[in-house]
Structure 1
């Protein structure tokens, strides 16, 4: 079958490991289902896989793609949940020490067919296209968990999103606006800040700019480049929710500010199947549509990877069959 896959870990030149071609048809174990993929979205996780981060060398070649939407053999339209854990695990599956994502142990969604446990194929809302639904499983689910499960923020409070154009950031802007929060956003360029305004941000600022007032919560996916600004932006008792560190994993902790102002720093990773189901319902009932910055055929996947590598995103990058 046709697939977009990584041939081997390539830490310094990730696109050198990217291949577009044929891979074997998957076998479907008991309790799993085959999904005919109609659309799949690109995540930073796919670039990390190409670099060999979070995946053992013996797992290559590995079909890329955590997210997707498609059709089951009986015609049911579904959205993929990419967190795969121990079926016997009870509770939050993101805390299961044996959990894994598609592309870490199991082949991913950038292919004609992907197999997942039956519980990982959720019904697609009629109000979302396949391309829109394909954005939900990683970036949008991460944003949903950060905002509604981890932050504790209430409608009317002020949230700051560090970074204006990535998949998680654009999702946070749309979800925060729909939930009645005041959404502030930083962006490196005028184009990225304009995108945030278009998505519903109430105010936008240059990266590192002094804000008019302190905020109740900051949403961090950038890390080292924005960390000190995030710490300075918070009200006493405020919270930073962190789900990534694209600019580096070693921010200065600023411990004196942390304890003196009683700030809180909370980590957040992906989300649960139930949270994805809630996110899909919320988007459907509220009429929320994910921002798709670029949509292209799977055969042009290298172009999409290059855009993400260069930081030239304006929403989600989606591949279609």
Structure 2
């Protein structure tokens, strides 16, 4: 210790300040390493029955981290895929699903800057290093360490979570926790698809597949806000009415109508300028046929199949652009939340259920008995 003190004494004033700042970010010896909280976890992949209520240990927030008391966490299709398991998923069991979280900041780690205790916040589910070239360009979804909460990192099916302070945003004042939790993943994904990739402009026609999904209910609103004519597809009259209430101009019932033929009819045989698609399988292949010459098909998922059969002539001869999309830059969520706070975009919550009924919520989502989001409330 005496040697360390002598070395510190020899430092310049600037270096001494740097050392003290560094030491302030280190956890103190003897401090509490973890707290206990309750969560819905999975100890293996499988059906909804693998979800179980359990007590877990949660590390104290480290440097530039915050602990959040979770009040609501929304379901997404990635929860279903994560629960079933995919070859590229590597879990640390017990694993917690859940990407979309809203709650209250309860504790700050050393050096946390973006929040204070008591703040009502929304959590951005994308995790990246924040220091590489792609992150600094605002392209964090291309970061080599990019992960998604609940997918390849622990998620929000819990009373408490610890996240980087860079992932915490102020919650719109006009929203409840359950409404706020329904926003991040689906609106970030839809924003990138419609605005960044689809480049939707006033006067264009946009086809949004599967109106009842979280991403599609957001994409309908964003496309309409940008001045586009919106066509969407769904399976029931009830869902069609809800799609129209969000701004859809035309709704096609895909159980009784051929959406390609209907799109051609509604556009005087031209086809649509942009397709927002996440269904996959035959729907993806037919979406290419529904697109106009020079149109864009933007896809972010494949809920019904990963290997569609495609006639490439419809891509190169008609110059249709096929664009892949995953999530969106973290910075875009600030603007999205401002638009929500101004009432220009709205959360779409189908129902609210207790976190401890997560297995039943998964069954409802799998059965496609939902329009918008199922949100789990955490008592």
Deviates more, 1:20-29 or 1:218-227: 20-29
Aligned partners of 1:63, 1:8: CA distance in 2, in Å?
11
The answer (yes or no) to whether the contact 2:105–2:119 under 8 Å persists in 1 is: yes
Q: CA RMSD in A?
A: 1.4
2:74 to 22, 28, 41: 41
Of residues 294, 297, 301 in structure 1, which corresponds to 2:351?
A: 294
| Residue aligned with 2:58, SS | coil
Counterpart of 1:102 (choices 149, 153, 157) is: 149
Unpaired segments ≥5 residues, structure 1: none
Rg (Cα) greater in structure: 2
Q: Which runs of 5+ in 2 are unaligned?
A: 1-36, 107-116
- 2:180 maps to which residue? 133
Indicate which of 325, 340, 364 corresponds to 1:268.
325
Q: Please say which of residues 231-240 and 208-217 is displaced more in the overlay.
A: 208-217
In 1, the alpha carbon distance for the partners of 2:278 and 2:371 equals 16
Q: Tell me if 1:253 matches 2:253.
A: no
TM-superposition CA deviations, 1:59-80 (whole Å, max 9, x none): 1211110111111121111110
Question: 1:178 deviation in Å?
Answer: 2.2
Q: What's the counterpart of residue 90 of structure 2?
A: 56
CA distance in 2, matches of 1:26, 1:8: 22
SS of residue matched to 1:237: strand
Q: Counterpart in 2 of 1:8?
A: 44
Post-superposition shift, 1:105?
A: 4.0
2:299 maps to 1:242: yes
- 1:193-229, Cα deviation, whole Å (9 max, x unpaired): 2321222210001223322221110000101131232
Are residues 1:80 and 2:123 paired? Answer: yes
- Give the secondary-structure state (helix, strand or coil) at the position aligned to 1:302: helix
Q: CA deviation at 1:87?
A: 2.9
Query: What is the distance in 2 between the residues matched to 1:38 and 1:190?
Result: 33
Provide the C-alpha distance between the structure 1 equivalents of 2:51 and 2:226, rounded to a whole number of angstroms. 39
Q: TM-score scaled by structure 1?
A: 0.94
Cα pair 1:26 1:113 within 8 Å, conserved: no
SS class of match (2:276): strand
Match of 1:65 in 2: 98
TM-score (normalised: structure 2)? 0.80
Give deviations 1:152-192, integer Å, cap 9, x for gaps: 11022110011120111111112222222111001123332
The answer on 1:226 being equivalent to 2:262 is no
Shift of 1:299: 2.0
- Show the counterpart of 2:365: 308
Q: Which residue of 2 aligns with 1:217?
A: 274
SS in 2 for 1:25: strand
8 Å CA contact retained: 1:227, 1:252: no
**How far does residue 116 in structure 1 lie from its aligned partner after superposition?**
0.8
Partners in 2 of 1:62 and 1:220 — Cα distance?
Answer: 29
